[in-house]
Structure 1
Amino acid sequence: MTHRILVTGASGFVGTALLQLLEREHAGCKVFAFGHGEGQRNPIDLRDRDAVDGAVREIQPTALVHLAAVAAPSDARNAPRHAWDVNVTGTMNLAESVMRHAPEARIVYVGSSEAYGASFQNPAGPLTENAPLRPVNIYGATKAAADIMIGQLSYEGLRAIRFRPFNHTGPGQSDTYVVSDFARQVAEILSGKREPVIHVGNLEAERDFLDVRDVVRAYATAAIRVSENGPDCVYNIASGRPRRIRDILDALIVQSGIDIEVREDPAKLRPNEIPIAYGDASKARAELNWTPLVPFEQTLADVLGYWRRACSPR
């Protein structure tokens, strides 16, 4: 059997990492990469039901990995209606088209740990997949709504696997996200482009961080190797270890080898900040044979290296 894998959001940070993994380790698969926006290959607007329908009907995928989304919480907060249209209606368009035109295909829905929201308050330990979805921001709400919708459609025959990944980073990530933001600032200091001062938001929050290369291994496994489907096929992708944001910044400063002043910037503070969020991925370990492999120190070094190359004189 030749796998025909349709990847939405293929031009994004995670999509790029997934395509690289599929090309490197699953060369026999036929991959159809869909992005969005001017200049992207195979652009498709998920809100356009007819366009989505036509693409799925033509490709006849054996699996669809759905990464396309308004993915930054700040972007969702600034344009909430757009976030709902893309993250929920766009997901519905894809799911309905798969059920109509490729009913045997598996849809791998990539949600978010942000869907748990207030369930992180006063937890007894890392959250499992049984924790209630109680989103506290617009991004989390859209991802929770689409997650529930995919779960409901699986009762009607949609062959779905749902993931709830926790924070992940790696080389190439936008500086909209905290690790990449810190690394960019450190790289600019090292290249002489700014004074030795880093501007930060809340450093006391604790989050569960992963390397994007570990995360996309789970998605590829689900698309190619997993045969189970159904309402219970939902998995946290997590390290199970919370890391304080301040400790991540300190590690990057140590890697820089220089003294850097840290200043709080009120503009970088997020509303509805959850103090600590981490997840239990034992179900993914048991059923998908997935576990994170990349040491976090290596992840930080790779992100800093990426930004040092980006900031170096051409």
Structure 2
Amino acid sequence: MPREHRILVTGASGFVGSWLLRELESQRLKHGQRLSVLTAGQSDASGWKTEITDRGQVANLVRECRPTAIVHLAAIAAPGDARKLPQRAWDVNLQGTMNLAYAAMEFAPEARFIFVGSSEAYGASFLDAAGEPIKEDAALKPMSVYGATKAAADVLVGQLAYDGLKAIRFRPFNHTGPGQAVDYVVPAFARQLAEIAAGKAEPRISVGNLSAFRDFLDVRDVVRAYAEAALGDRACAAFGKVFNLSSGRSVQIQSILDMLIELSEADVEIEVDPKRLRGPEIAIAAGDNKAAFDAFGWKPEIELRQTLSDVLQDWKIRIAS
């Protein structure tokens, strides 16, 4: 009889969480697995309404769910939100992770603990890399509140792995896809272009810094890695380790915009909005993804142009409705 999987997903109602739930369901149908997906968050729609910063609620959650794997997505995920509400970001991103990890060790000691960190934790190490794809052994030198909270939680989970937590840590680079909020660069561009195409806005697009280079992924590729870590047989060899999720190459934000404009077939003016500028930024950020390939056979499959087309189409549908 196949093993029964009980996957607890925190932050399941968010952008990445919603795509992960689809991926897990796809895996269940594809492989005929005995799979239950349990969700937790602050939304009433969640299976368990849980405040991640409340240690007692989190302990009860894990005790009642009895998960075989936990995918921890709950976070203050937008860097701008973390900058505006630093105390909340530290409470959720660090204390919430601590609550969940200790609850897992006490009430579900055999469960895999999949921690979703961020490439933002590397921070100034990208400057040291001089544009080369960064590896997992690079120092964590965060330059933002969000990056610092993720780096701290990353270190915490890594330390608890020595105490027995069956932890797998991921550091995903920039990822986007249909459904992402406009706090992020690709949907911010796509929404404006969709409004222009629908005749609901002047043919003018407002942008921030277009000179930076970033490593972009499709969210659907990213959640495949999380699902593999939660369900796959190879994951046991990854306990205690950390993995970049990246394409291995950087793309200039200007190129992202140019491709979206081409896909939209719009004739637009581009204007820089000072409110969209974040101050000093890292010029180039890219990640080496060899470790994830070696451990899970994971690599990106969806081309950037397809991702951008899907995001733009999603916004056209939203604007039309």
Q: Which of 251, 254, 265 matches 1:243?
A: 251
Same amino acid, percent of matched pairs: 55
- The two structures have a TM-score, normalised by structure 2, of 0.95
Alignment correspondent of 1:43: 49
Alignment correspondent of 1:93: 99
Q: How does 1:40-119 map to 2 (within 5 A)?
A: 40-119=46-125
For residue 272 of structure 1, report the CA deviation from its aligned partner: 3.5
Alignment correspondent of 2:195: 188
Alignment-mate amino acid for residue 105 of structure 1:
A
For residue 244 of structure 1, report the CA deviation from its aligned partner: 0.2
Alignment correspondent of 1:3: 5
Q: Which of 132, 140, 165 matches 2:139?
A: 132
Q: Which of 286, 299, 303 matches 1:291?
A: 299
Alignment-mate amino acid for residue 15 of structure 2:
F
Secondary structure at 1:286 match in 2: helix
For residue 39 of structure 1, report the CA deviation from its aligned partner: 5.3
Alignment correspondent of 1:143: 150
Alignment-mate amino acid for residue 218 of structure 1:
A
Alignment-mate amino acid for residue 274 of structure 2:
P
Matched, 1:304 2:306: no
Find the aligned partners of 1:167 and 1:24 in 2 and give their Cα distance.
24
Q: Is the 8 A contact 1:155 1:230 kept in 2?
A: no
Secondary structure at 1:69 match in 2: coil
Alignment correspondent of 2:236: 227
Find the aligned partners of 2:104 and 2:179 in 1 and give their Cα distance.
31
For residue 123 of structure 1, report the CA deviation from its aligned partner: 1.4
Find the aligned partners of 1:70 and 1:272 in 2 and give their Cα distance.
22
Q: Is the 8 A contact 2:41 2:52 kept in 1?
A: no
Q: Which of 269, 275, 283 matches 1:275?
A: 283
Matched, 1:216 2:223: yes
Find the aligned partners of 1:130 and 1:58 in 2 and give their Cα distance.
37
Deviations 1:35-93 (A, max 9, x none): 22455553211011111000100111000000000000000000000000000000000
Find the aligned partners of 1:155 and 1:23 in 2 and give their Cα distance.
32
Q: Is the 8 A contact 1:117 1:140 kept in 2?
A: yes
Secondary structure at 2:4 match in 1: coil
Find the aligned partners of 1:300 and 1:120 in 2 and give their Cα distance.
25
Find the aligned partners of 2:191 and 2:307 in 1 and give their Cα distance.
14
Secondary structure at 2:179 match in 1: coil
Secondary structure at 1:74 match in 2: helix
Find the aligned partners of 2:279 and 2:42 in 1 and give their Cα distance.
29
- The two structures have a TM-score, normalised by structure 1, of 0.97
Q: Is the 8 A contact 1:137 1:272 kept in 2?
A: no
RMSD: 1.1
Instruction: Count matched residues.
Output: 312
Q: Which deviates more from structure 2 when the two are superposed, residues 255-264 or residues 63-72?
A: 255-264
Find the aligned partners of 2:45 and 2:228 in 1 and give their Cα distance.
30
User: Using a 3 Å threshold, how does the CA distance of structure 1 residues 39 and 230 change in structure 2: closer, same or farther?
Assistant: closer
